[in-house]
Amino acid sequence: MKKKSILTRSIHLLTAMVLGVFVSTTGAGVVSAADMSNGASNFYKSDKVTMQKVAFKNQYNMNVVGNLFIPKGLNQNTKNPAIIIGHPMGAVKEQSANLYATKMAEQGFITLSLDLSFWGESEGQPRSAVSPDIYAEDFSAAVDFLGSRPFVDRDRIGVIGICGSGSFAISAAKIDPRMKAIATVSMYDMGTANRNGLRHSLTLEQRKNITEQAAEQRYVEFLGGETKYTSGTPEELNEKSSAIEREFYDFYRTPRGEYTPKGQSPKLTTHPTLSSNVKFMNFYPFADIETISPRPMLFIAGENAHSREFSEDAYKLAAEPKELYIVPDTGHVDLYDRVNYIPFDKLESFFKKNLK
């Protein structure tokens, strides 16, 4: 019984760390209003672009759903550059990705935000399952879709990966040279985060305990038992809630960024399945990252972001041309939706230069 308790606490701690929160299970609830400062505008819409829902198959014949944004007045009789935008891990395209897609479309790019498989409106069972290989495949499938549009120049397609999608986009780009320019924002290396925790705080024994519990849960689900989910953003705050916990709660659990796809439970937002989450431990997105060169890479991170280490690690390992761009006085989630902080001008110049 004691061993099971240790296992439970270990996996609870790791998954909370990976999703950027440290969940407290005691204390009275604390009411938290959404912080809409610094231009927080996750649900931003523009009269300068049109949006349409699209769907396409990935290589595993799974339906991937996205939103296609086209600048009004764009000459669709010519070939134009396009950018794919991936959402944070455990989120959906309506959380951060649509905002980036809209803003970049305002700058003249065709953009596509997508729901990764197992999340949002895209196919995949069970819901909230982890499969980094299929996530990366979804980016390549998005290139298939865009590159087959008559108004898109298939030699000028770029990618923006936000949070966990930064690591999935890199994983895809290593074997898909059709992605001509890669930018990441507030990136998480989902492999390192699960193996080592933030700032390498996870011990080998804790890691082994986590994999053991996940393996035992496979028996439960194979025999028809209840699916379990790992902890992510908490449902409520209390007096012991950490600053990182509050940062994520303020986006995912308030009107600032809360969004639930039709027919799904809001309680599954940022909560991967327990039995599948360990697949991240076999995920090494930065291995061979130098092979992406000479295609350019841009790593954007907040100065005070708890995830900054991942962008710095990727930058060190990548080959030229590359750039690490640190946004002053910002944290991890600030770059999800605070338009006064997000360096859209930097992203615009990066893609205009490299998708010309």
pLDDT (tens digit per residue) in 20-69: 443 333 334 445 589 999 999 999 999 999 999 999 999 999 999 999 99
Which residue pairs, CB below 8 angstroms and at least 24 apart, start in 72-75? 72/47, 72/48, 74/108, 74/110, 74/151, 75/151
Cα(208)–Cα(10) distance, rounded to whole angstroms? Answer: 9
Q: 193-247: per-residue pLDDT in tens? A: 999 998 899 999 999 999 999 999 999 999 999 999 987 888 889 998 888 889 9
What are the pLDDT digits (tens) for 181-202? 999 999 999 999 999 998 899 9
Q: What is the DSSP string of 203-248?
A: -HHHHHHHHHHHHHHHHHHHTT----B---S-SSEETT--HHHHHH
Task: List the domains of the chain with CATH numbers.
Answer: 2-18+44-354 (3.40.50.1820)
Q: Is the pTM of this model over 0.75?
A: yes
Taking only the tens place, the pLDDT of each residue in 267-288 is 789 999 999 999 999 999 999 9
Place of tokens 């455990």: 90
Within 10 angstroms of residue 138's Cβ, the number of other Cβ atoms is: 30
